[in-house]
């Protein structure tokens, strides 16, 4: 039996009647972010942005599968107002935010990837810091009822699991792609990630109808 919040999310899942025009300027902002980096030929940031967005989709697919197999709730749900709910825990507004978050997360990185921060590798420190910040934002969204948690191990009282099982690997993948030495390596890494996502969506959403 789905929880109340999961049932609310399911009731608007991929419902086109939810569409709102503000999605268009949001999309334009995402395009602008990428075009500004293309103008500067900042391929590292561009691939980092794509890596974070792709990794988030991967986690969102897994989250939707959690609901399918439990028939209770996903780890996180997004039943609140939205212009379009893509997956049970992912609305179009969240997706557009994640589409540019990877670029933003690279802006504070030291140029020397071996440099230390607080005596630790700077990529590690930045990933932990941003992961903690993202969970803080999620807690605020949860308090507002926009983002729901239905499991006692995945909630504001146990933020460490959300930090290190969700956001930390998300950002670490972003920084890993950012630091790859060649465009070929970046393209291969991001291409494989997106291929997995597309295949998963075709199978689990398109063919099986699980998510």
Domain that holds residue 106: 4-207
Q: Which two tokens stand for residue 24?
A: 């268009």
pLDDT tens, position by position, for the chain (211 residues)? 999 999 999 999 999 999 999 999 999 999 999 999 999 999 999 999 999 999 999 999 999 999 999 999 999 999 999 999 999 999 999 999 999 999 999 999 998 888 998 889 999 999 999 999 999 999 999 999 999 999 999 999 989 999 999 999 999 999 999 999 999 999 999 999 999 999 999 999 999 999 9
Give the list of residues 6+ apart from residue 144 with CB closer than 8 angstroms, or none. 80
Helix, strand, coil shares, percent, the chain, to 5: 65, 5, 25
First to last CA, the chain: 16
Please tell me the distance from the alpha carbon of residue 170 to that of residue 166, in angstroms, as a whole number: 6
Count of the separate structural domains present in the chain: 1
The angle subtended at Cα 97 by Cα 204 and Cα 17, nearest 5°, is: 60
């Amino acid at each position: 039996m789905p929880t109340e919040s999961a049932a609310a999310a399911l009731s608007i899942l991929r419902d086109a009647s939810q569409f709102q025009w503000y999605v268009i300027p949001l999309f334009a902002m995402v395009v602008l972010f990428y075009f500004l980096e293309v103008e500067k030929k900042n391929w590292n940031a561009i691939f980092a942005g794509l890596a974070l967005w792709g990794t988030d989709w991967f986690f969102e697919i897994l989250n939707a599968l959690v609901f399918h197999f439990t028939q209770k709730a996903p780890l996180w749900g997004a039943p609140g107002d939205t212009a379009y709910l893509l997956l049970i825990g992912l609305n179009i507004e969240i997706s557009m935010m994640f589409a540019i978050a990877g670029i933003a997360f690279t802006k504070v990185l030291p140029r020397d990837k071996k440099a230390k921060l607080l005596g630790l590798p700077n990529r590690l420190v930045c990933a932990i810091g941003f992961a903690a910040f993202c969970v803080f934002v999620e807690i605020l969204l949860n308090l507002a009822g926009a983002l729901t948690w239905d499991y006692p191990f995945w909630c504001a009282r146990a933020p460490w699991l959300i930090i290190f099982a969700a956001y930390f690997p998300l950002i670490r993948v972003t920084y890993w792609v950012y630091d790859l030495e060649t465009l070929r390596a970046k393209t291969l890494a991001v291409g494989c990630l997106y291929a997995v996502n597309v295949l998963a969506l075709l199978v689990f959403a398109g063919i099986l109808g699980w998510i």
